[in-house]
Amino acid sequence: MSSAAPQRPLDLDEMFTELRALKPVRDPLQEWMAAHADELAPLVGQRVAIDPARGMLASGSTLEDVHRQLAAAGLMDDQATMAKGASYCRS
């Protein structure tokens, strides 16, 4: 026989009340993309590297294209896998 306390059933009303009280987390990348939708529109289907503080750093049809552009601009980190401060997404 287990001495563990029984789990109380999930109270969805209480859970949703707690969720509504949470403050949204600010996402600088999403904010930048929303503010620059017209700049991203011609790049639909492309890979892009974005730094919300500096804007779009590179774009291309493959990540390799983007990496080449970032490397040429001196923006790759030591492992050459990610631009410094950039986020990758598909537009």
Q: Residue 24 has what pLDDT?
A: 81
For residue 50, the cross-strand partners are 56, 87
Q: What percentage of the chain reaches a pLDDT higher than 70? A: 73
58-88 pLDDT per residue, tens: 899 888 898 899 889 888 764 334 444 455 5
46-57 pLDDT per residue, tens: 888 888 888 888
| Cβ pair 49, 83 in contact under 8 A | yes
Indicate whether 12 pLDDT > 60: yes
Q: Report the chain's mean pLDDT, rounded to a whole number.
A: 78
Backbone angles phi, psi at 68, to 5 degrees: -60, -45
Q: What percentage of the chain reaches a pLDDT higher than 90? A: 8
Indicate whether 35 pLDDT > 50: yes
